Copies of this chain bind each other. A is one copy, B any other.
Amino acid sequence: MKPNIPKGTRDFGPEELAKRNYLFQTISKEFLKFGFQPIETPSFENSSTLMGKYGEEGDRLIFKILNSGDFKTKELSNIVREVQLLSLTVSRIFKDVLNDLDKFEIEVGRKPNFYELERNKNELKSFIEEKYQYRVNQNISLIIGYIDSHKSIERLFLEGSISELFKDKIFEFFNKYIGITENTSERLENNEMQKLFPFIEEVYGKIIDELSEYRKRFSKNISNEISEKALRYDLTVPFARYVAQHQNEITFPFKRYQIQPVWRADRPQKGRFREFYQCDADVVGSDSLWQEVEFVQLYDAVFTELKLPVIIKLNNRKILAGIAELIGESDKLIDFTVALDKLDKIGIEKVTEEMKIKGISDDAIEKVRPLLTLQGDNFEKLEQIDALLKDSHIGKKGVEELTFVLRNLEKLGLESSELLLDITLARGLNYYTGAIFEVQAKNVEMGSVGGGGRYDDLTGIFGLKGISGVGISFGLDRIYLVLEELNLFEKVKIPKPKALFINFGEDEALYSLKAIKRLRFLGISSELFPNADKLKKQLNYANKREIEYVVMAGVEEIEKGIYTLKNMIRGDQTNCDLNDLALMLGNK
């Protein structure tokens, strides 16, 4: 058995861990300075806490945990019922297919012969290529697809599992329409062939659709039956649950931060893992815009500390709502922002073209044209937006909020980050109700390294109504990749002993361990090579682990009460007593 780990997960060695811990520590140090307090929640929550909070796609990406122990009577009998429902459905599908085949026989005057089709695939292909050149590929692949799918359905049913339940139906199906073709040499007539294509397409589609639809429901029902817990998918929902559950112990406004792993059954790819850390800071219980100001400062503080220059993009959901009012169709808002986002790359012409294709009316595009030609700094842009949204109450509110935040941030100043008003910023549209943040690293190609926003009623789903919250998140894995690319981990120290003591035998080892004990007491990491192996092997170990110093103490040193200290980089060595040894190793 070759040892391995599940895809999308990672082992972290000492070096990677040191860099990650540097990130965790830098971020949490700033969190603390800003008055946030850490909490931790369990790795798994009750499924009911998580399910339905992340949309249909999110639900599917949640890792569910199997109930422990043996299945109970209820679970067991529900599984049996699900299988019976599956059986009934498959049985009905087959009955439908048989009906369709009957209809075909009546219309065409003979039954379709799929085995024959397969045997004559190449001949068929030439025939079709001559006759129906414009639709060859599609039809060929339909036929081949049908044969393949037909074979896989057949395999499923003959595998000995479902077949038992449908022996009669399968027998009927295969005998009537597929069997006893070995000695048949008749060919399909051209006109039959033509009639066959749409029919095959229809039957094929019907079987595949119905089976896959049912399989989905079956999967979901069985999963719910035998699983009541699920791994944390993000930190926000568990935080909302925490606030609702502990509301009587909490002093509001509550400022918490949380740095813990989350799990998603996403398809793994570069920078996307199935287990990864999130770093969140949120405040709940106040709608003050000073918090938005503080969060931008917090981003600035962290990325300044990490020496990573970033652009902090700002928007406000209410401005987007105002624009939606202007366009007249709020369901086109995302299409609008996606198109608008391409302004710099493809120009006004192409952007308006894309908007039209997406079904935004000429009239609407005319109305929002000023957004395509925004000029000047953030404040000048805000003025233009304000003028445009003069008739939208909510839109003007958004401009007002954003102005407050930008005005005060300008007065306070940022250390190293750039602030950018970006009305195309729409992340978490259905979630955020006020400010929206997103952070992008400068000088490097990478998605956002952070984001967040305000949500008016996060804890409502857990019964605690009217609690406004605002929060931000740091994308740890992406920040890691960026710092790695820009060589910004240089000052991170990989933990390792300062000195290795060579082992020359029991007496010498004991003498060394006395020194080691003293060094450790002084906070200096050091160790004894465990075996009295050849010196070369021990020095080799020190080199491989990149240990800076080697200490040698043989009979001679013991007699004199000294130690020989060798610098493994420079190669020089010196004799000293224990005090000097501690001084020399401690100073470096």
Contacts and interface: CB of A to CB of B under 8 A. Distances in A.
A126 B291 CA distance: 77
Nearest to A300: B517
A73 B32 CA distance: 51
B81 A161 contact: yes
A86 interface: yes
A64 interface: yes
Given A42-B9, A70-B216, A530 B288 contact: yes
A297 B83 CA distance: 60
B161 A412 contact: no
Nearest to A404: B506
A39 B65 contact: no
Contact of A530 (B4, B156, B215, B291): B291
A160 B242 CA distance: 40
A579 interface: no
Contacts of A11: 39-42, 242, 245-246
A357 interface: no
A408 interface: yes
Contacts of A287: 531
A359 interface: no
A63 to B, nearest CB: 5
A294 B256 CA distance: 40
A527 interface: yes
A66 interface: yes
A93 to B, nearest CB: 15
Interface in A255-273: 255-256, 261, 263, 265
Interface stretch (A113-121, A224-232, A321-329, A339-347): A224-232
Q: Which of A45, A297, A530 has the most CB of B within 10 A?
A: A530
A424 interface: no
A218 interface: yes
B530 A76 contact: no
A6 B256 CA distance: 22
A530 B283 contact: yes
Contacts of A463: 1-3
Interface in A40-69: 40-46, 48-49, 60-61, 63-66, 68-69
A81 B288 CA distance: 60
A570 interface: no
Contact of A412 (B45, B290, B513): B513
Contacts of A45: 5-6
A495 interface: yes
A180 interface: no
A161 B79 CA distance: 9
A108 to B, nearest CB: 31
A72 to B, nearest CB: 9
Interface in A325-383: none
B44 A245 contact: no
A293 interface: yes
Interface string A189-232: 00000000000000000000000000110111011001111010
Contacts of A17: 38-40
Interface stretch (A307-315, A438-446, A518-526, A560-568): A518-526
Given A76-B215, A79-B222, A84-B165, A37 B63 contact: no
Contacts of A60: 68-69
Copies in the complex: 2
A84 B13 contact: no
B68 A265 contact: yes
A228 B7 CA distance: 11
Interface in A493-534: 495-497, 503, 506, 509-510, 513-514, 517, 520, 523-528, 530-531
B40 A245 contact: no
A10 interface: yes
A528 B294 contact: yes
A275 interface: yes
B286 A531 contact: yes
A316 B499 CA distance: 31
A249 interface: yes
B286 A33 contact: no
B46 A4 contact: yes
Contacts of A70: 215-216, 219-220
A42 B514 contact: no
Given A161-B84, A283-B530, A462-B3, A13 B246 contact: yes
Contact of A76 (B218, B220, B227, B513): B218
Q: Which of A35, A68, A411 has the most CB of B within 10 A?
A: A35
Nearest to A411: B510
A80 interface: yes
A43 B1 contact: no
A12 B40 contact: yes
A77 interface: yes
Nearest to A297: B517
A413 to B, nearest CB: 8
A527 B14 contact: no
Given A34-B520, A80-B165, 18 more contacts: A4-B46, A5-B42, A30-B520, A32-B495, A33-B526, A34-B525, A35-B496, A43-B231, A43-B261, A60-B68, A61-B68, A63-B68, A68-B265, A71-B215, A77-B156, A80-B87, A80-B161, A290-B530
17 contacts: A1-B48, A6-B46, A11-B40, A35-B497, A35-B525, A38-B495, A65-B65, A65-B66, A65-B231, A69-B265, A226-B226, A253-B541, A286-B530, A287-B531, A294-B527, A412-B510, A412-B514
